[in-house]
């Protein structure tokens, strides 16, 4: 998790957030985000086609429907933000005056058409049409906060023009961009989710505020999008272009019925009680209490001072070959730990080695996040891809000390933390957990020093959420690469970890105002080198 390090003013959520936009300091308790999960222990599974999801899930989703129709507009539906969403929003929104959003999530896939199923001219309208189809299946992509910032609003498109306008506002072809990272550096906050196509690399970039969805959800959505693209391509190009217009999407789908699939907050999806039991409260407050472990933790050197304003988010990325990945995974397993726990231990070791000199001499500890997905613990359809556009995550902090923890000990400690999972009482007490976080973050004092550690977020095996191939030979798409990251406005960084197509990938996201690319690239190389050294895997 990334600790809230932003106190710039945004649209008002709470008067306590109205602070100078140049302060950008961490609150004293050094909270971190409940961000993208998880620990990669789940088994790979074939995801159902998105074409079947709506048929399977209508009645189940409708049974928990906190959305209500507005009195003055039958096409408008609204619901209050849940505590988990509110917590994320409180931390993310203060970057808005600078045209940025802390923790906004970016998901990417690189696609390659099968045969001549989609020419360069056909791809943009095909993607746009499939994007509208995806919105129909996941209407929360188009739900956004109202003026009070306390409620979400969704409006059913009542005309082809309205749907066409939404398509124009949320989908764009970035013909001049060299890659998705170029686009990420200049994305501004937007009410709804956005999709970008980068022709030079064949990348699709899905961008969303973090309160709307978690890391797993965005990957599920991109997989469903590519599946829809495969289902809509393959006919004669000129004829197909005529059938891929927004007005055709308005006629093709039963707009208005999609409101049954609007995502509830996790508190409703998990049927979490308004009042927790004493035991549930103890568990919830215990998890929140781990955030205090961030106090006095070490950090890595950064540029500027307390008045330095954030700039663009950048990333460094390293991939291991399939052979090295297989050897590393096997070596970690032989030691009784997952590859995620092993990477986590190496990340801690490099944080210690590259810490601010004073922090290193003081023997400061390293605190990082244990992220957990709540999705496997929710009832269907909330545990399924049908509810991809939702925020269903949790987590807590864990501490290791440089003097008393070897690499093996740290790896075993992280393995034990990841294996804890989510108990029934933890889940039922999660409303209390998130509500407590909201109250804490609204009353945080200014810290003496900002955090600058490098944290971790593991997506595990991405084939749990994305297939490598969609469609059939001659008509469909391959996904050759996939990735995820968040926007960073603080001095911290996050190493995202995953495997896709049998390649272990490390992606470090950071803000260029606080860290030069050389520093972060070398940091990531050190993590990879330490991992392979500890596992005795030769490069």
Per residue of the chain (539 residues), give pLDDT as tens: 334 433 332 332 222 222 222 223 333 233 443 344 444 433 333 444 433 333 333 333 333 558 999 988 989 999 999 999 999 999 999 999 999 999 999 999 999 999 876 788 899 999 999 999 999 999 999 999 999 999 999 999 999 999 999 999 999 999 999 999 999 999 999 999 999 999 999 999 999 999 999 999 999 999 999 999 999 986 555 556 657 999 999 999 999 999 999 999 999 999 999 999 999 999 999 999 999 999 999 999 999 998 999 999 999 999 999 999 999 999 999 999 999 999 999 999 999 999 999 999 999 999 999 999 999 999 999 999 999 999 999 999 999 999 888 999 999 999 999 999 999 999 999 999 999 999 999 988 777 889 999 999 999 999 999 999 999 988 899 999 999 999 999 999 999 999 999 999 999 999 999 999 999 999 999 999 999 999 999 98
- Do 151 and 79 form a contact (C-beta atoms < 8 A)? yes
Q: What is the pLDDT of residue 464?
A: 97
Q: What is the pLDDT of residue 521?
A: 99
Helix (H/G/I), strand (E/B), else coil: 321: coil
Q: What is the pLDDT of residue 399?
A: 98
Q: What is the pLDDT of residue 33?
A: 38
- Do 389 and 213 form a contact (C-beta atoms < 8 A)? yes
Compute the distance between CA of residue 194 and CA of residue 206 in angstroms, rounded to an integer. 6
Q: What is the pLDDT of residue 96?
A: 96
Which residue stretches of 262-313 are H helix?
A: 266-269, 278-289
Q: Which residues pair with 460 in a beta bridge?
A: 498
Burial of 512 (0-12, 13-18, 19+ CB in 10 A): middle
Q: What is the pLDDT of residue 452?
A: 97
With tokens 């306390």, the residue in question is 150
Q: What is the pLDDT of residue 14?
A: 28
Compute the distance between CA of residue 24 and CA of residue 4 in angstroms, rounded to an integer. 9
Domains and CATH numbers, the chain: 15-534 (3.30.559.30)
Compute the distance between CA of residue 478 and CA of residue 109 in angstroms, rounded to an integer. 10
Strands (E), 321-452: 366-373, 393-400
- Report the predicted TM-score, pTM, of the whole model to 2 decimal places: 0.90
Compute the distance between CA of residue 155 and CA of residue 250 in angstroms, rounded to an integer. 14
- Do 223 and 465 form a contact (C-beta atoms < 8 A)? yes
| All residues at 6 or more sequence positions from 388 whose CB lies less than 8 Å from its CB, including other chains | 138, 213, 216, 217, 218, 220, 221, 224
């Amino acid at each position: 998790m990334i600790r809230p390090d932003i106190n710039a003013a945004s649209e008002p959520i709470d008067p306590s957030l109205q602070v100078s936009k140049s302060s950008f300091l961490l609150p004293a308790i050094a909270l971190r985000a409940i961000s993208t999960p998880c620990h990669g222990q789940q088994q790979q599974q074939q995801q159902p086609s998105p074409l079947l999801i709506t048929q399977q899930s209508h009645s189940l989703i409708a049974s928990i429907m906190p959305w209500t129709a507005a009195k003055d507009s039958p096409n408008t539906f609204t619901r209050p933000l849940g505590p988990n969403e509110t917590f994320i929003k409180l931390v993310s929104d203060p970057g808005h005056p600078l045209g940025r959003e802390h923790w906004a999530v970016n998901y990417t896939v690189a696609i390659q058409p099968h045969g001549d199923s989609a020419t360069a001219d056909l791809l943009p309208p095909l993607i746009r049409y499939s994007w509208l189809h995806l919105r129909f299946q996941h209407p929360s992509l188009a739900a956004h906060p109202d003026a009070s910032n306390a409620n979400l609003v969704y409006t059913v498109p009542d005309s082809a023009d309205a749907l066409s306008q939404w398509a124009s506002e949320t989908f764009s072809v970035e013909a001049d961009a060299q890659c998705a990272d170029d686009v990420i550096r200049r994305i501004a906050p937007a009410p709804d989710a956005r999709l970008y196509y980068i022709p030079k690399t064949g990348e699709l970039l899905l961008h969303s505020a973090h309160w709307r969805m978690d890391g797993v959800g965005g990957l599920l959505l991109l997989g469903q999008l590519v599946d829809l693209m495969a289902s809509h391509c393959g006919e004669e190009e000129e004829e197909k272009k005529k059938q891929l217009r927004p007005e055709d999407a308005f006629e093709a789908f039963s707009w208005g019925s999609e409101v049954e699939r609007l995502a509830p907050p996790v508190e409703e999806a998990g049927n979490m009680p308004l009042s927790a039991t004493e035991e549930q409260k103890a568990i919830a407050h215990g998890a929140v209490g781990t955030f205090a472990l961030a106090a006095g933790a070490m950090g890595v050197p950064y540029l500027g001072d307390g008045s330095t304003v954030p700039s663009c988010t950048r990333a460094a990325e390293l991939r291991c070959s399939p052979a090295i990945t297989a050897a590393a995974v096997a070596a970690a397993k032989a030691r009784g730990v997952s590859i995620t726990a092993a990477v986590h231990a190496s990340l801690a070791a490099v944080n210690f080695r590259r810490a601010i000199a004073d922090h290193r001499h003081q023997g400061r500890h390293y605190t990082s996040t244990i992220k957990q997905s709540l999705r496997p613990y929710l009832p269907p359809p909330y545990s399924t891809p049908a509810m991809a556009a939702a925020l269903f995550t949790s987590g807590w902090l864990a501490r290791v000390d440089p003097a008393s923890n070897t690499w093996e000990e740290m790896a075993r400690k992280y393995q034990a933390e990841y294996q804890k999972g989510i108990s029934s009482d933890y889940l039922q007490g999660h409303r209390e957990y998130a509500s407590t976080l909201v109250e804490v973050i609204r009353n945080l004092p200014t810290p003496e020093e900002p955090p600058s550690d490098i944290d971790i977020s593991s997506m595990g095996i991405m084939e749990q959420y994305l297939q490598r191939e969609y469609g059939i030979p001659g008509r469909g798409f391959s996904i050759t690469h996939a990735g995820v990251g968040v926007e960073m406005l603080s001095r911290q960084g996050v190493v995202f970890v995953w495997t896709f197509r049998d390649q272990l990938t490390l992606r470090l996201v950071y803000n260029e105002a606080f860290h030069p690319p050389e520093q972060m690239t070398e940091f990531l190389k050190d993590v990879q080198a330490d991992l392979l050294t500890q596992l005795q895997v030769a490069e």
